[in-house]
Amino acid sequence: MILCDVVGTVVMTVKHPALAGEKVLCCQPLDDAKEPAGAVILAVDRAQAGVGDRVLVMREGNGVRQIIGREQGKPLDEAVKMDWPVRSMVVGVVDRVDVAPRGASVGGASLGRARDAKA
């Protein structure tokens, strides 16, 4: 899952049947400094998130189908075989995120974060 800011919504009438009645949010991925990083992802909402929220986005179709399958009362093995062409889903609204600042170290030992080398 990744951390994103919801920066928009998308309205579609002509679409794949699986998207009927779904709220599609535009999610801007964030890096560890909580700055926008990367292209916007469109995700189906399952956390009642709204524009301006900081959310958790899952980008794995299998997980999405498990959630949808469970909503439709399908057993797990049947759910994952559903023809549901959606891969990204908002699965949580984040209240708080704490990340070690770049180059941080604990007791002298760097947290070994690959980005430390670049910073």
Partner 1 sequence: MYLARVIGTVVATKKADHMTGLKLLVVEPVDRANKPNGEIHVAVDVAQAGEGDLVTCVGSREAALAIEPSFVPVDAAIVGIVDQTDWVADRVRA
Q: Which residues bind partner 1 (CB under 8 A)?
A: 5-16, 18-19, 24, 26, 28, 39-43, 51-52, 61, 83-88
Cβ nearer to partner 1, comparing 87 with 113: 87
Q: Residue 24's CB: how many other CB atoms inside 10 A?
A: 19
Nearer to partner 1, 85 or 103 (CB): 85
Q: Which two tokens stand for residue 64?
A: 């999405």
Nearer to partner 1, 35 or 110 (CB): 35
User: Cβ closer to partner 1: 40 or 116?
Assistant: 40
What tokens were used for 104?
């941080």
Give the shortest CB-106-to-partner 1 separation in angstroms: 28
CB of 57 vs partner 1, minimal distance in Å: 11
Region class of 34: left (phi > 0), else alpha (psi between -120 and 50), else beta: left
The answer to whether the CB of 64 falls within 8 A of the CB of 58 is yes
In the numeric block, which tokens belong to residue 36? 């926008």
Say if residues 91 and 58 touch (Cβ distance below 8 Å).
Answer: yes
In the complex, the smallest distance separating the C-beta of residue 85 from partner 1, rounded to whole angstroms, is 3
